[in-house]
A = this chain, B = another copy of it.
Amino acid sequence: MLQSSTAALARERAQLEPVFKYVDQHADAFVERLRTLCQQPSVSAQNLGLEETFAMVEDMARGVGAKTRRIDLDGGPPILHARIGTGARTLQLYDHYDVQPPEPLELWQHAPFAADIADGRIWARGVSDNKGNLVARLCALEAYRRALGELPLRVTLLFEGEEEVGSPHLRQFTDSPLGRELLAVDGCIWEAGYKDPVGRPTVALGCKGILYVELRVRSAAKDLHSSWGAAVPNSAWRLTWALGTLKDARTGRVLIPGFYDRVQTPNDRTYALADREPFDAAQYRTLFGIADFLHEWDGREARRHYLFDPTCTICGLTSGYQGPGGKTVLPAEASAKLDFRLVPEQDPDEILRLLRAHLKAGGFGDVEVEEVEGEGERAARTDPDAPIASAVVETARELYGLEPLVLPNMAGTGPQYVVAGQFGVPAVGMGVGNADSNNHAPNENIVIDDYIQGIKHMAWVLHHFAAA
């Protein structure tokens, strides 16, 4: 990566002192602003509270001085686009105002939309993924402008409301003339980032793609007495057997012919980035409560597979009787939710075709495959030498006092390809989460100190990227 001098960074820190002071003085208010947003449910999978949340986010953006624009999508919640600042460069901040469903509710120690503060953390669905980042960025814009005056660059905000369901309507915007105009920027800060278990800030230079499908079998018009299991097809068995053909129990390899055809082994530099900082396998094992990683991989191996392997994951199974005790029923219907995390060059549309062909060829033509989250996402990967990448890494190193963990890509997914990658815009993920943030799981949380640091980091990135 390009290197700024230590002196230059020290000078920037001095210039930013008033901004950091403003952040510290307004820390409580910034926390309350985030809590308020988290208390408003916005579950895209359940079409819950999206319009209300859009209105709150729009108000917040106006509140820090941005000029907002509502972009309506046919069949989905609106996008908020906003502009603020002047200068040579344009930096886009991509976030989403929707969150994952909170279920299973009984496993939460704090109500998911209460945004309780406890143990120095804020606990809420979406506080890490991604409302904490969204609000931190707005707070950074406010702090910079109040402390130092107008921003030294153009910032655009792009806040969408369907990221957690695969952004199924986003292409209406990204593929439109307006989208192409607004998305032509010099760099993009991507939604998320976290501190790893030893406290290092992570910086992600891309993300995986995704295909999310539901497999469904209907074997009869109604549930039957299970004694008929001797003579009548059973949807749950059909589903189980069909799933068994998708992934090898011993190797974990996906068995769909053609699945790996376009997968390229990462180059040495990419592996080196991944390996540079060791992955504390023991710490993750404790965090996750797992006996071991797959195949007893050590930290380096687990990390490489996590970052670079395409996956096929059962996210949910449902069939028949699931209550207490026993019910002797032959279930008429069974379904599974599956996600495939994809790596660069894999095309979700192609994987869907391969999956359907494989099931049909294997005698599972009775297993319906429906894509759940729209059109899937392609993977994206950013050049480590891009100016926005350097800006994020160098300022993180200075601010946090630790060498950041630069990930060639996140293991997660987002519409980075359609928003940035397809236009050649380098995108870099950073954010306020932690290794125990429980994204997509019960007890999602962020550490308040991380949130305050994240606001400062965002301000520094703006300053540095404008000057570089």
Contact = CB atoms under 8 A, between A and B. Distances in A.
Contacts of A104: 223
Nearest to A322: B318
Sorted nearest first, the 3 A-B pairs with minimum C-beta distance are A221-B289, A45-B325, A229-B313
Given A221-B288, A413-B227, A316 B321 contact: yes
Interface residues of A, number: 93
A261 B103 CA distance: 45
Contact of A337 (B166, B219, B321): B321
Given A220-B288, A230-B311, A316-B331, 5 more contacts: A164-B328, A227-B306, A228-B306, A231-B294, A231-B306
A315 B294 contact: no
Interface string A35-58: 000000000111000000000000
A161 to B, nearest CB: 13
A164 to B, nearest CB: 8
Interface stretch (A81-89, A134-142, A232-240): A232-240
Given A314-B237, A315-B330, A103 B228 contact: no
A441 interface: yes
A411 B227 contact: yes
A217 to B, nearest CB: 11
A297 interface: yes
Contact of A305 (B101, B230, B310, B413): B230
A434 interface: no
Contact of A440 (B249, B309, B312, B329): B329
A102 B309 CA distance: 44
A464 to B, nearest CB: 29
A334 to B, nearest CB: 6
Instruction: Tell me which of A223, A230, A232 has the highest count of chain B C-beta atoms within 10 A of its own C-beta.
Output: A230
B319 A316 contact: yes
Contacts of A410: 227
A417 interface: no
A42 to B, nearest CB: 13
A222 interface: yes
A305 B302 CA distance: 48
Contacts of A232: 288, 290, 293-294
A298 B381 CA distance: 58
A195 to B, nearest CB: 16
Nearest to A362: B249
Contacts of A220: 288-290
Given A316-B319, A317-B317, A440-B226, A237 B231 contact: no
A323 B45 contact: yes
Interface string A383-404: 0000000000000000000000
Contacts of A328: 100, 164, 210, 212, 313, 315, 339, 413, 440
Contacts of A154: none
Contacts of A320: 314-317, 337
A72 B293 CA distance: 51
Given A232-B288, A240-B240, A293-B232, A325 B165 contact: yes
Contact of A236 (B214, B302, B316, B411): B316
A186 interface: no
Interface in A296-355: 297, 302-303, 305-306, 309-332, 334, 336-337, 339, 341
A226 B313 contact: yes
Contacts of A310: 230
A438 interface: yes
22 contacts: A45-B323, A46-B324, A165-B326, A212-B326, A219-B290, A223-B442, A225-B412, A227-B411, A229-B313, A230-B305, A233-B292, A233-B293, A234-B313, A236-B336, A237-B247, A237-B314, A239-B317, A315-B326, A317-B331, A318-B318, A326-B339, A329-B440
